[in-house]
Structure 1
Amino acid sequence: MFNPRPQVRYIAIAGQAPCVVIDDVLLDPRAMVAHAVAAQERFAVDPANYYPGPELDLGQEMAFRLDDFFIQHVRRALGAQRTISVAARLALATLPAAALHPLQRLCHRDCADLAPGVGAAAAVVYLFEDARMGGTSFYRSTQGPEHTARLLREAHAGKPRDTDGSAYLTASNAHFEQICTIPARFNRAIFYDGEIFHAAQIEAPALLHPDPERGRLTMNGFFRFRKRSA
């Protein structure tokens, strides 16, 4: 399923672990798109994670295959020693900008409730041809941890800030500086430290579509791991 001899690149993110970029990551990416099409009725929105569209869990076997690839080709770059948990799912961004919750207009991190010595990582495999639907951007907070925590709490409660506008975050604003963008490419995977603020770079939300063959379909992975000793 995964390319056994991937070409691995490392894209620097200032002050952070690099983003690991791997093109042609799946041996048969069209099969994954076909799976999404066949299972489209089982996609569902999970309001707990604020993803801007429906998702489909890919099950334990796929999660373990993704983890095997992570172990062989990625984990050292992200400071991981041993995987604690892993999940994999398909996701289809569909929400128009005007329908976004305030939290969906900001960048976010995938690292809630991490115990000491435990890290988080995430993966995205782009499964759409039209690169205009956007890759992924990384950010740093410009206002300090207390301000940022308050901003995120207010957004979670549905209180928008005037400077947040009513669109997907695609550039620096008063709260966050965009420090790196990875363009989308069909069958490209990126792996990154889940403690880095990030957001999908959706600059053309009018292109989003609920059909997995036409829309912004991705395979997303989430890892918890024991950090490697310094």
Structure 2
Amino acid sequence: MASASAISYDLSVNPRPRVVLGHVGNEREPVLIVDDLLNHPAALIDYATWEVAFTPAGNPDGGYPGVRAAAPLNYVEAVVRALSPIVEQAFKLRNVALSNAECSLSITTTPPEQLTVQQRTPHIDTVYPLQFALLHYLCAPDFGGTSFYRHRATGYETLDEARAAAYDAARARELVEDVPPQRYVGGDSLHYVRIGGCDARFNRMAIYRSCLLHSGHISEDKPLVPSPCEGRLTANIFVNYRQC
């Protein structure tokens, strides 16, 4: 049940958003772009400004490079309910049921010189193939979007349980030979090829499988401030399905 404070904000989903389905890489992984997602997106920024406290999300091993706070449940429920049929069709899901969804409001704040090795490298969120990332941009386009990658040595663009050991072994060897530069991931590198991406756009949502190698494409020209109104604010929803 949504809190009383959350209910006071209009977080309703636009019944007619603009939806574009694309595919990236050799594996032709689907990526959905949904524009004009909320009827009143500024209401979610207001909620982030006045109703929650952001706390550091990173850890010594990596994690999200910034601060996070809990998202309102009525927003999460409305988005998942509206977009689940589109996700199931785009990713050709059959005989599945929604299992759970979790969401955080996130602001990128970590300076490049403080990033861990993992934060300077493309990553996945899980090897579970039925988890999907729904990334809602609530910031200006010049903060940068999200990029997707292929690992050169293995050719992998997605990871599953069968691929994880070979990928981890290759990465361990590579990190002995070459430590990634002290900056946010920004395109092709010695060990990764950028295979596509999604530009940030206010009130745009990007949807992709969580096992797809990806990284935030963070602009070096914008200050990373912890303000929902002035910083790189996103809402990050992870939706899990289970096979029936």
Question: 1:171-182 residue pairs with structure 2 within 5 A?
Answer: 171-182=187-198
1:43 paired residue among 46, 51, 54: 54
Q: CA deviation at 1:227?
A: 5.3
Structure 2: gaps of 5 or more residues: 1-11, 155-162
2:148 paired residue among 132, 135, 138: 138
Letter in 2 for 1:108: H
CA offset digits 1:140-163 (Å, max 9, x no partner): 1111255631365699xxx78635
Say whether residues 1:74 and 2:87 are aligned partners. yes
2:111 paired residue among 64, 73, 96: 96
Task: Name the SS of the counterpart of 2:188 in structure 1.
Answer: coil
Distance 1:149 1:2 in 2: 40
Question: 1:135-174 residue pairs with structure 2 within 5 A?
Answer: 135-144=145-154, 148-150=167-169, 162-174=178-190
Distance 1:45 1:161 in 2: 31
Question: 1:1-230 residue pairs with structure 2 within 5 A?
Answer: 1-14=12-25, 15-39=27-51, 42-47=53-58, 50-80=63-93, 81-112=96-127, 114=128, 119-129=130-140, 131-144=141-154, 148-150=167-169, 162-204=178-220, 206-226=222-242
Tell me if structure 2 keeps the 8 A contact 1:137–1:178.
yes
CA offset digits 1:63-92 (Å, max 9, x no partner): 322220221322221233322111111100
Distance 2:56 2:171 in 1: 21
Distance 2:205 2:180 in 1: 29
Letter in 2 for 1:119: L
Tell me if structure 2 keeps the 8 A contact 1:111–1:119.
no
Superposition misfits of 4+ residues, deviation over 6 angstroms: none
| TM-score normalized with structure 2 length | 0.81
* 200-209 or 31-40, which deviates more: 200-209
Distance 1:203 1:106 in 2: 16
Q: % of aligned pairs identical?
A: 26
Q: CA deviation at 1:181?
A: 1.7
Cα RMSD (Å): 2.4
Distance 2:243 2:210 in 1: 13
Tell me if structure 1 keeps the 8 A contact 2:149–2:194.
yes
Letter in 1 for 2:124: R
Q: CA deviation at 1:111?
A: 1.5
Tell me if structure 2 keeps the 8 A contact 1:133–1:216.
yes
Residue correspondences, number: 219
Distance 1:106 1:181 in 2: 15
Distance 1:39 1:154 in 2: 45
Tell me if structure 1 keeps the 8 A contact 2:142–2:222.
no
| TM-score normalized with structure 1 length | 0.86
Letter in 2 for 1:120: Q
Structure 1: gaps of 5 or more residues: none
